[in-house]
Amino acid sequence: MATETGTHNKTTASSLSAVRHIIPVASGKGGVGKSATALNLALALAQEGARVGLLDADIYGPSLPGMLGVPATCKPEVRDGKYFLPVMAEGIATMSIGYLATEKTPMAWRGPMASSALLQMLQQTLWGELDYLLVDMPPGTGDIQLTLAQKIPCTGAVVVTTPQNIALLDARKGIEMFRKVGIDCLGIIENMASHVCSQCGFEEDIFGSGGGDKIAGDYGVQMLGSVPLLRALRESLDAGRSLLLSDPQADISQRYRALARGLANSVAQHETDGAPELIITDD
């Protein structure tokens, strides 16, 4: 897969000034497929015609370069000794701590250091004009999540969960955390909602069902949709090329495109709801 670094004609004071919507993709716990969801959602938005960026904010376990098949030798170019140019991969602008460190260099940082690294990648990357910048958050509700919420103007968050009860409990914590810092939840995505047999295609709810709908109903947020546990999807990401790219007409690809359209509609609705009321008088 070919990659290249993005180019910009002018270094601006704020690298985020031309980004319309910053959307953290979060989960209350690990193991729910959040990073795979964030990547496929970004690719689906791009396929729908949007200009998209994706920041891998999982400082301790970056997975974006591997899932995109970006060579380990690929490093972001530096502009003026201060700014990074995003690595362009499969039509989206990307940045990850994985581009700046090797697989054998663990990020043994305390919370404030990790938070500082997140802000530097966000604010010192020349993202250019983007409709959506998705931020693949690390799991949990700790320092990095709070730093993003307090320092960066986010449009809203997407929360990823699985149907299992323990995951649903942690998803609620994620929604509550964002609410406390004034960030609305744009929608819920239920990942691994069912298992699809690779031999016969039978789909079974092995982790339960209806959990995502229950949370969405309890909090009055949109249920963007669900995605099955699919062997081919896992294999494609392990190989560094998503099924959305290798088989855009596959059912799973269409599901992600539907999720992307749902998110775009949720963002548009959020903008409408947040607009000031226009009052016209005879004065």
84-130 tens-digit pLDDT = 999 999 999 999 988 877 665 555 455 566 677 788 889 899 999 99
**Which two structure tokens, joined as six digits, stand for 53?**
């960026």
Q: Distance of alpha carbon 23 from its chain centroid, rounded?
A: 7
In 252-271, which positions are buried (b, 16+ CB within 10 angstroms) versus exposed (e)?
Answer: bbebbbebbebbbebbeebe
Q: Distance of alpha carbon 39 from its chain centroid, rounded?
A: 6
Q: What is the pLDDT of residue 275?
A: 46
pLDDT of 199-246, one tens digit each?
787 777 777 677 788 888 888 899 999 888 888 888 898 899 898 999
Question: In 69-153, where does DSSP find H-type helix?
Answer: 111-123, 143-151
Q: Is residue 282 part of a domain?
A: no
Range from 1-5, 23-27, 239-243 carrying the lowest mean pLDDT = 1-5
Domain that holds residue 237: 13-272
Q: What is the pLDDT of residue 92?
A: 96
Q: Is residue 280 part of a domain?
A: no
Q: Is residue 152 part of a domain?
A: yes
**Which two structure tokens, joined as six digits, stand for 141?**
């509700």
Mean pLDDT of the chain: 82
CATH code of the domain containing 165: 3.40.50.300
Please enumerate, as own/partner, the contacts of 205-213 that have beta carbons within 8 Å and a separation of 24 or more.
205/163, 207/162, 207/163, 207/164, 208/163, 208/164, 208/165, 209/163, 210/163, 211/161, 211/162, 211/163, 211/164, 211/165, 211/167, 211/168, 212/161, 212/163, 212/168, 212/188
Q: Is residue 84 part of a domain?
A: yes
Number of domains in the chain: 1
* Dihedral over alpha carbons 115, 154, 240, 252 (to 10 degrees): 140
Q: Is residue 68 part of a domain?
A: yes
pLDDT at 9 over 50: no
Q: What is the pLDDT of residue 274?
A: 55
Question: Cα–Cα–Cα angle for 147, 149, 155, nearest 5°?
Answer: 150
Residue % of the chain over a pLDDT of 70: 85
Q: How many helices (H) and strands (E) does the chain have?
A: 9, 13
Phi-psi region of 259 (alpha: psi -120 to 50; beta: other; left: phi over 0): alpha
* CA atoms 79, 82, 85, 87: torsion sign: positive
Residue 134 pairs in a beta bridge with: 23, 54
Among 4, 6, 3, 38, residue whose Cα is nearest residue 237: 38
Q: Is residue 7 part of a domain?
A: no
Stated length of the chain: 283
pLDDT at 10 over 50: no
User: Is the CB of residue 98 less than 8 Å from the CB of residue 56?
Assistant: yes
Q: Is residue 4 part of a domain?
A: no
Among 244, 134, 148, 138, residue whose Cα is nearest residue 186: 134
pLDDT band at 12; cut points 50, 70, 90? very low
pLDDT of 163-207, one tens digit each?
877 777 888 888 888 888 889 999 999 988 777 777 787 777 777
Q: Is residue 38 part of a domain?
A: yes
Strand ranges inside the chain, DSSP E: 3-5, 19-26, 52-56, 78-79, 83-84, 87-89, 92-96, 130-136, 157-161, 185-190, 195-196, 203-204, 223-226
